Amino acid sequence: MPPYAYTAVDERGKECRGEIEAPTPFDARSRIRDQGFKPIKLRELTKSTSGAPRFVSSFRRPELSSQVRHAINAGLEDMVTLLGAAVPLEEAIRVTARQVKSPRASRVFQGLADEVANGESLSDAMGMSNWPFGTMCCSLVASGQESGSLERAIRQYLAIKDRWSKLRSKVLGAMMYPMMVFGTGIGVVVFLSTFVLPAIVDVLEDSGGQLPWMTRVVIAFSGLLTNWWWLVILVLVAGIFAVRTLRKHESVRRPASWCLLKFPLIGVMTKNQHIAHTCALLSGLLKSGMQLVEALRLTSDATGNILLKEDLDRAVRAIENGEDPGEALKGNMLPEVIAHVFVVAQSPERVEELLDRLAADYDQRLDQSLNRFVTLFEPIMILVLASVV
C-alpha cells in the first residue's frame, strides 16, 4: 500500500501532521477520520531515483498567475450561484469547469468534480496537492458543510479574498508613484556618475584646491561604477539572494518586523494595513460560523507580520487554556480596542459588526498614512537629487 503524508486538525482545531498507509487516497482520508482527525491536505509519498523518500509535490501550493487565480475565484462565484439555484454540487462544479475561460482553472474544477463523484467531500477534494486552494478555503468549506451553509461559507471566502485584494492594491497603487520617482532618481544618478562625471573629473582635479567632501564622494562613486561595475552587479545579486534567504528564518524576520514598525511613517502604514486585514479576516471567518479559536488560528496563518502572528498564537493558547478572549487578545501589536470588543459585545453578531467597524477605521487610517507618505516623499527625493547634482 502506498504511504501518504497528511495534515489534519483535531476537534479543537489544532493542526497535526503525520503519515499513513492506505490503498487509495479515499481510504487514507477515511482512516484519518477514524483516528478522530479532519484531513486538510493529503500527499502521496514515493521513492526518488536515489531511494530516498520525497514528496510528489511540496506542501506549498502551485504557483499560479493572477489571471488563473482570477478565473478560479470567478468560477467559485458561478458555482455558488448554481448552488443557490439548488443545482447538485457535482453538477454545479462540472458546469463551472465548462464555462471558465482559463484551461488550467477548468482542469482544477474538473478534478474537483471527479473527486466529489468518487465520494470525497468538497473540502477534502480542495485540500489535495493538485488544487490551488489554501487552508483557509478548505477550513471555511468544511465548516460550511458541517453547518449546512456551504453556499454562505464560499461567499464569505470570496468576500475575504476580495477585501484583501483591494487592500493590497491600495497599498501598491499608492507606492507606485514614489517607487517610480525613486527608480528614476537612481537611474539619473547612475547615468551622471557613469557617463557625464568621468569626462569632467580631470578638469575638477586640475582646478586646484580642496574639493568639497560631497564632490569627492560622488567622484569615488563614479569611479566604482566605471571600473568595478561587475562587482557592483555581483554584490546586488548576492544581496537580493541573501535577503530572500534570510527572510525565511524567524530569527531574522522578527527583528526586521520590529524595525519596520519603528520606522517613521512606514511603520504606521504597515501596522494599519495588518490590523485592518486582521479585523476584516477575523470578522469574515466568524460570520461563516467558525469557532473563535479556529478563526484566530487561520488569521494567524494568513498574517504577514511575525509579531502579530505571535500575539494571535499566544491568544489561541490562552483561550484553549480557558482564559477569557478579552484578556487573551491583549498583545504587543494588537490594539487594546480589539480585546475590548470581546468584552463589551453581547452576541457573536455584535462582535462581527464591531470588527467590521474596526477594519473600516484602520482602512481609513491607512489611507491617511499613505497620503502623508506620498506627500513627504516627493520633496525629499527632489532635495536628494538636487544635492547630488
Residue 162 has pLDDT above 50, yes or no: yes
Cβ atoms of 54 and 43 closer than 8 Å? no
Highest mean pLDDT among 171-185, 190-204, 362-376: 362-376
Q: Where are the domains of the chain?
A: 3-51, 66-162, 164-389
What local confidence, expressed as pLDDT, does residue 34 receive? 83
pLDDT over threshold 80, residue 304: no
Q: Does the pLDDT value for residue 167 go beyond 50?
A: yes
**Look-up: residue for cell 477575523?**
282
Sign (positive or negative) of CA dihedral 262, 264, 268, 270: negative
CA distance 261 to 275: 12
Work out the average pLDDT over 93-118.
88
The answer, yes or no, to whether residue 301 has pLDDT greater than 70, is yes
Please say whether the beta carbons of 167 and 302 come within 8 A: no
CA–CA separation, 149 and 290 (whole Å): 11
The residue type found at 33 is R
User: What average pLDDT does the segment 358-387 reach?
Assistant: 83
Q: Identify the residue with better confidence: 97 or 191.
A: 97
Residue 52 has pLDDT above 60, yes or no: no
The average pLDDT across 135-152 equals 81
Backbone angles phi and psi of 186, in degrees to 5: -60, -40
Evaluate whether 105 touches 68 at the Cβ level (below 8 Å): yes
Pairwise CA distance, residues 7 & 17, whole Å = 4
**At 226, which amino acid appears?**
T
pLDDT at 59 over 70: no
Phi-psi region of 208 (alpha: psi -120 to 50; beta: other; left: phi over 0): left
| CATH homologous superfamily for the domain 66-162 | Type II secretion system (T2SS), domain F (1.20.81.30)
In DSSP terms, 20 is beta-bridged to: 4
210-248 residue pLDDT tens: 667 777 777 787 778 778 888 888 998 998 888 888 777
Quote the CA–CA distance of 273 and 303 in Å, as a whole number.
10
Q: In the predicted model, is pLDDT for residue 208 greater than 70?
A: no
Judged by average pLDDT, the poorest of 13-17, 35-39, 285-289 is 13-17
Mean pLDDT for all residues in the chain: 80
Q: Exposed e or buried b for every residue in 278-304, given b needs 16+ CB within 10 A?
A: bbbbbbbbbbbbbebbbbbbbbbebbe
Q: How many Å apart are CA 366 and CA 378, to the nearest integer?
A: 19
* pLDDT tens digits, 148-157: 788 888 888 8
CA 73 to centroid of chain Cα atoms = 16
Contact in structure between 121 and 143 (CB atoms under 8 Å): no
Give the per-residue pLDDT at 26. 66
Task: Kindly indicate the confidence band of residue 62, based on its pLDDT and cuts at 50, 70 and 90.
Answer: very low
Model pLDDT, residue 91:
92
Residue 58 binned pLDDT confidence (cut-offs 50, 70, 90): very low
3-state secondary structure the chain: CCEEEEEEECCCCCEEEEEEECCCHHHHHHHHHHCCCEEEEEEEEEECCCCCEEECCCCCCCCCCHHHHHHHHHHHHHHHHHHHCCCCHHHHHHHHHHHCCCHHHHHHHHHHHHHHHCCCCHHHHHCECCCCCCHHHHHHHHHHHHHCCHHHHHHHHHHHHHHHHHHHHHHHHHHHHHHHHHHHHHHHHHHHHHHHHHHHHHHHHHCCCCCCHHHHHHHHHHHHHHHCHHHHHHHHHHHHHHHHHHCCCHHHHHHHHHHHHHCCCHHHHHHHHHHHHHHHHHHHHHHCCCCHHHHHHHHHHHCCCHHHHHHHHHHHHHHHCCCCHHHHCCCCCCCHHHHHHHHHCCCHHHHHHHHHHHHHHHHHHHHHHHHHHHHHHHHHHHHHHHHHC
Confidence of residue 383 (pLDDT cuts 50, 70, 90): confident
Say what the pLDDT of residue 205 is.
66
Please check whether residue 304 is in contact with residue 23, taking contact to mean a CB–CB distance below 8 angstroms.
Answer: no
CATH class for domain 3-51?
alpha beta
Q: Are 170 and 370 in contact (CB under 8 A)?
A: yes
